[in-house]
Structure 1
């Protein structure tokens, strides 16, 4: 099968490159906008691009917001779940911004983005989004083992404490190997193409392994009798499960895309693709919403951070009124108080 390396490897959640004149998005039109049936402002592709831009800005803002709130309040920063959420937020923010910044820098110092540069950018993109999946999965596994298999959690505590670091080192090694492979084989298209395919397959396998793990934990958890303490921290499974569900359609589509080649990216194709990307981005928005709904400490941190009347003594009162830890033991092994 003949694959075009310049069109195949692109990240599905990015805005695809295409000729806007094919879809009625040209900058000028010989007819007045209100009289043109295909006027740019009413073009579905134009509208979906605006939506994608707005959602992207919101997602970046929420990533930054989540990082700031967690780092600002030590109670959250010291909690096991929020250590994973901090990694998640940083990884997702890097996914949204880092590769684009590197692309801009490479374009500034050279004439366009070389194939090796594209390989580097793609490797970083994929590593960041894979880190998002791993951090949420480790959070769910950690929570489940702590509450339902405490002996196992205590026995392999070092693994739980350093699992996310191990995942990062593996992804870093993978990124380095792929980049070196692309750099060495820059003049050999077939070898370069294999590198891009490896990135695609590795990322999709990572996503679906994490998704199946989260699904298994969620279904088993639903069949168990949840203790009051475990229920207080059920966001540790609800948040990852919801995020993966909202990312599932895009990843299923990408699996199909690996085996089915499209000769032309028409307007309907781009609109559908970007709709899936927007749905996936909404997962980040839902994460923050669910944290505010399921975790009183995150909600109170938000109130103190953003609401004037909670910036002084009222904040501690609100936390106390919301309820104390019945058994004096929390997910972190000690009473949590703000």
Structure 2
């Protein structure tokens, strides 16, 4: 977790100290910052950009398959479709990630990242971006590349001053993840989606680049996060709320926060205590009223308010008269039937 100091305010986070430098808005963070990625929220992007929290990277069968299959797709595009593919090694040499620190756009302040490959059309002389994807979710691609993938390629296309970008997608099955080295790209398992920045995103700078820069200025540079969602952002929030006590001053903050919260809870309980006590009395009255409606063959009754339904059920159970049992030793003869009534409250569904 980060060394950044921060505190919670309502449903966002405020940095008490800023990092020496921010991470860049790469293509994978670009759509998410704009709220256009179903898997990553703007809050999570902010956490990454400010070095406040980022999900630890762990290889999975999906990432491993992607690493193994991507070079196969590059070769497939070059040999079958004559795209004259250029890969990062061709430009930056071996260990290109270490040499570039994972950023091919050092002259850009906000945006950065690494493209998968570049292509060149000999007939038109046009250069273009190639963004390679492997997926098991073919259903997501029935109308073309998902928007957040298109925006990844579109960003690199924009940063390079190009217009065309191509997204090859290989649709994998379980066997491909088990043995990715045996995968062979073909027209049966790999589709190629071609796009144009000028045609598909004619107002790209105004509708995407500008809002992304506004996000950067409003949230990243200010150190004040976008609002988080307790459910969707549960993982980073759990990590951020786990306080790492480094020294006494940090522990003093923990004690102060505990004290403040406890006072709030105590004040709240004092405020609602009369209402809680009255509810107990009211439930007893309602329970008595419903119980009086029961006849010998009645097992159920209910009453409704504007927001709740109170249901009472009757059940019978056998119990033993222990005194007579001791005197007589006969269970069946001296067993008796008693009745119990249970009242349950359920919130009504709102219209």
TM-score by length of 2: 0.25
Greater length-normalized contact order (CA 8 Å, ≥ 6 residues apart): 1
Larger radius of gyration: 2
TM-score by length of 1: 0.25
Going by fraction, where is helix more abundant, 1 or 2?
A: 1
Going by fraction, where is strand more abundant, 1 or 2?
A: 2
